[in-house]
Amino acid sequence: MNRPSRLSLALGGALLLAGPGPVSAPEGAPPNSPSSSAESPQELLVRFAPDVAEGVRTATHRAYGGHTKRRHERGRFEVVPLPPYADREEALRKYRDDPHVEHAEPNRYVERVAAPADAASDANGWWQERIRLTELETAERKAGDTIVGILDTGIQCDHPALADNTWDDGDGQCGKNFIDPDTPPDDDSDRGHGTHVAGIIGANSDEMTGVARSVQLQALKFLGSLDDGTLADAIEAIDYAIEQGTDVLNASYAYTASRTDDGPLPTSCADLADTMEGASRLHCEAVADAGEAGILFVAAAHNSGNDNDTGTVALPAGYPLDNVIAVAASRETAAGEPSDQLADFSNFGRQTVHLAAPGVGIHSTVAGDDYDELSGTSMATPMVAGVAALLLDQAGSEASHLTIRERLLGSVACDRDADPSLPRCDGNPLGDSAGQQLAAKTLSGGRLDAAAALGADPDTVPPVPPSHVSIETASGIPELRWLSSSPTARGYRIERFDTAEGTFRHVATVEPDRDRYRDRSAPSDTLLGYRIRALGSDGQPNSRWTEAGTVETDQALNRVTEQFAGFSSAERDERCFIATAAYGSEQAHQVEALRDFRDDYLMPHPPGRALVAAYYAVSPPIAEWVAAEEHRQRWVRRLLALLPTQKE
């Protein structure tokens, strides 16, 4: 953070001396001109640096025409309304340029994920048969005290089918209203969207039963009567769920962001600003905080029929987090036969949408003690959330949200003929030749199967495949990046497509905590393809392959390999001999940091290349001497730890 200038300090002091007062329109501005953005409220979310005094915050707001509406303690940000005449983008730029401000972004509207009105079905219970709920015993369909928070329009908590399964905050409320905290979290939307979602998860009446016959349904109302709400209120609701010990969050809402270029997919919340225009880092961090608290976050993939891997991306389903499950919607055929093909409206994504579940013509509860059929990924999502609640109750306190996620994704109904690398397809057979489509458009390659998930042996469930995988060149070297989200993987196997032979060849196996790999043995001036899979632990199969696409290398690679005098094979280019001897593995992250330093700072310049060549000429015998004795390894590790390349 830059040190504030004397001018900015003087300005802040002058504003403080002026004291609080109303913000007036600049001369000539209309007092009630429309907001600068029709898709967002006239508000910003501003996070100051931790040591910024209250007076400086107030002065900053006054300088840019804003004020604090409310403060969010966990995320350390403030909701800052702007005057209706203000240029929101200009105010945002000023906040971002201010040395006191750590982060600023627009507050945005999000909306329920509603489907086209003509997407309907006549078979009320088809989805229960399709995910094999009907094969489960009554006792298996009880989630007990598991709390499922429903981030939505509220719930009619006294609905006859829901009343016995609603959560109680201790004061007689079944949740909280984040739009108007002084009123109950009732569902006042025109279609009863939140109540419909709640019924799919946990209705229990003669008219219908949801996934779980017993469960704790928690109303987290942040969407209003028009089915929209703000990111700021969504964050408040997520934080409330964390405080209340919620187990699963159902997010049948979405907003969209645009991929800024053809660069890598994000693998963390911090990456969002560089890869997606319009993505909220603060909302992503709130979902990440939920994951740190052990909460599974099940999100609708959206209903625009888009590929969430490219172009316009639906969020929060596309957040690169290991506690997120993004859900697409599957359908029946026109004749009412089992299909499992994706609904025409459903978003998809081989890298970022995890599985499908039925989402067309779903019969459930709505406000007014009534029932109705709705369609959308909004309806598919609570099926996955409901099965997650059943699994949590079955597994008990020893299970983590990540192992439950792995059981859900590792037990889908799929088709190995569509992708032989699918480790297992335990669910019921897919209908209407859907296997090829689901294999190409979801990470797991399949559709939710409740009976398979609840009957799976946790020790033999395959690891979650790596997601958000992409490839680019850094300093002329192909770099593979991915999101590692399996709690059981023992590592990741990486293969490169050999265009000459037309086959994939193994290039590396890396540790389970790694999320990127540089292929220094890649040939130059050619088109390369890569794929990666998670390796199962003892008794586990491996995950399916995830392909990273292709990258064209250039002659820059020649500058690297030509300097490695005395090497007998490209494989040896991977190694830093002395560091490898000290740390015991050429894949150790400390060795990787030294290689990155070599390639990024030494190899681009003639003196650096000469130094590297000299090192490789003399280092092999020194490395052998180091590796021979443990005390020598410890001594070298202490020396290497002093290098700047080893600092966090």
Cα 497 vs. chain centroid, distance in angstroms?
28
| Beta partners for residue 255, in sequence order | 315
**3-state class (DSSP) for residue 233:** helix
- Assess whether 145 carries a catalytic annotation: no
Token pair 């997606």 in the structure block, residue: 276
Residues with Cβ within 8 Å of 205's Cβ and at least 6 positions away in sequence, in order, are 160, 161
Token pair 């009863």 in the structure block, residue: 192
CA atoms of 560 and 105, how far apart (whole Å): 41
CA atoms of 426 and 100, how far apart (whole Å): 55
Cα-trace Rg, the chain: 27
Pairing outcome for strands 214-221 and 101-106: unpaired
Pairing outcome for strands 312-315 and 253-259: antiparallel
CA atoms of 555 and 251, how far apart (whole Å): 47
Quote the tokens at residue 482.
């991915």
CA atoms of 644 and 648, how far apart (whole Å): 9
Quote the tokens at residue 533.
């899979």
Element (H, E) at 15: helix 6-18
> Among the options 40, 280, 330, 378, which is catalytic?
378
CA atoms of 648 and 634, how far apart (whole Å): 20
> Among the options 36, 103, 152, 470, which is catalytic?
152
Given a contact cutoff of 8 angstroms between Cβ atoms, the answer to whether 272 and 468 are in contact is no
DSSP, residue by residue, 33-51 = PPPS-TTS-SEEEEEE-TT
> Among the options 103, 159, 193, 283, which is catalytic?
193
Token pair 């909460």 in the structure block, residue: 295
Pairing outcome for strands 355-358 and 324-332: parallel
CA atoms of 366 and 192, how far apart (whole Å): 5
Residue whose C-alpha is closest to residue 364's, from 114, 119, 124, 113: 124
CA atoms of 453 and 34, how far apart (whole Å): 51
- Assess whether 519 carries a catalytic annotation: no
CA atoms of 117 and 375, how far apart (whole Å): 8
CA atoms of 485 and 476, how far apart (whole Å): 28
Quote the tokens at residue 64.
């840019």
Distance from the first to the final alpha carbon of the chain? 18
- Assess whether 433 carries a catalytic annotation: no
| Beta partners for residue 579, in sequence order | none
Residues recorded for the chain: 648
Q: Which amino acid, 333?
A: T
Number of other residues whose CB lies within 10 A of the CB of residue 585: 11
Quote the tokens at residue 631.
């005390």
Residues with Cβ within 8 Å of 628's Cβ and at least 6 positions away in sequence, in order, are none
Given a contact cutoff of 8 angstroms between Cβ atoms, the answer to whether 161 and 195 are in contact is no
CA atoms of 65 and 82, how far apart (whole Å): 6
Residue whose C-alpha is closest to residue 645's, from 607, 614, 602: 602
DSSP, residue by residue, 269-297 = GGGHHHHEET--HHHHHHHHHHHHTT-EE
Q: Please identify every residue annotated as catalytic.
A: 152, 193, 378
